[in-house]
Amino acid sequence: MKEGFKDVSFSLGNLKIWKGIGFALLIPMIICGITYSIAWFSGLARFQPPQGGMLEPIYNILGFQYLPIPLSFIFIVVLSGVLGSLLNLIPVMGEEMGWRGYMLTRLIDAEFSRPILISGLIWATWHVPIVIAGLYVEGTSALLSVLGIYFCIVPFSYITAYLRLITGSVWPSVIIHTTWNAIIQGPFARASTGDQTEIWIGESGLITAIIILATAIIMARIVNFTK
């Protein structure tokens, strides 16, 4: 591979990439929808209508507050995913240029064994200091939060890597990253309450990790990746 900015691949020039972007928007909504539905219906967390957030004025202008709660929440999640992706695009693009745009492709080019796993472990480890400092996820135990981050981020790295490698563009990995941050830190977090819910849901929750892992396994079988 040649070294350079172009090698990161910001191509948008074919239908495969746009399909990848569509899946990148949809996958986080499916994962969070399943995860939080399990928590809400099992009683591990309680649902509450989400309040606040920088996009709330837009929700009110569109009249979401007048819709039945299940329908209004779905609309809020979809709008948060789309608009939140745009708002977070620049900082996440910087991350993805490094993780999937450069590091992953270099590991593959260097013929490392399990390059996606290695890049995922590095990505998770990068989060550890801010988790311990309480700046990323909150929980009663820093150790459990750190373990949860590994269990969630490593399989999620497979999903983002598949999108990057299948499409040949970094854009789908940027969009899935921004969409994930926007909805799990936004409407899903504000719609959940209860004691010690961070054990089950959120970005280091056990249910979250299981659903992400299941999604990664399904994608691996569909695309037939073994790296």
Per-residue pLDDT, 11 = 73
pTM score of the predicted model = 0.91
Per-residue pLDDT, 2 = 47
Look over the chain and give the mean of its residue pLDDT values, rounded to a whole number: 90
Per-residue pLDDT, 12 = 80
**How many folded domains does the chain comprise?**
1
Mean of pLDDT values over 35-50:
96
What's 104's DSSP letter? H
Whether residue 70 lies inside any domain: the answer is yes
CA distances in angstroms from 150 to 54, 64, 223, listed in the order given: 29, 36, 24
Whether residue 2 lies inside any domain: the answer is no
Whether residue 152 lies inside any domain: the answer is yes
Residue 227 pLDDT exceeds 60: no
- Residue 8's pLDDT band, with cuts at 50, 70 and 90, is low
Strands annotated E in 57-121: none
Tell me the pLDDT tens digit for each residue of 67-77: 998 999 999 99
Per-residue pLDDT, 5 = 45
Tell me the pLDDT tens digit for each residue of 168-193: 999 999 999 999 999 999 999 999 99
Q: Give φ, ψ of 16 to 5 degrees.
A: -60, -40
Q: How far apart are CA 24 and CA 156, in angstroms?
A: 12
Whether residue 79 lies inside any domain: the answer is yes
Domain that holds residue 184: 13-223
Whether residue 7 lies inside any domain: the answer is no
Whether residue 6 lies inside any domain: the answer is no
CA distances in angstroms from 57 to 61, 62, 71, 183, listed in the order given: 6, 9, 18, 17
Whether residue 4 lies inside any domain: the answer is no
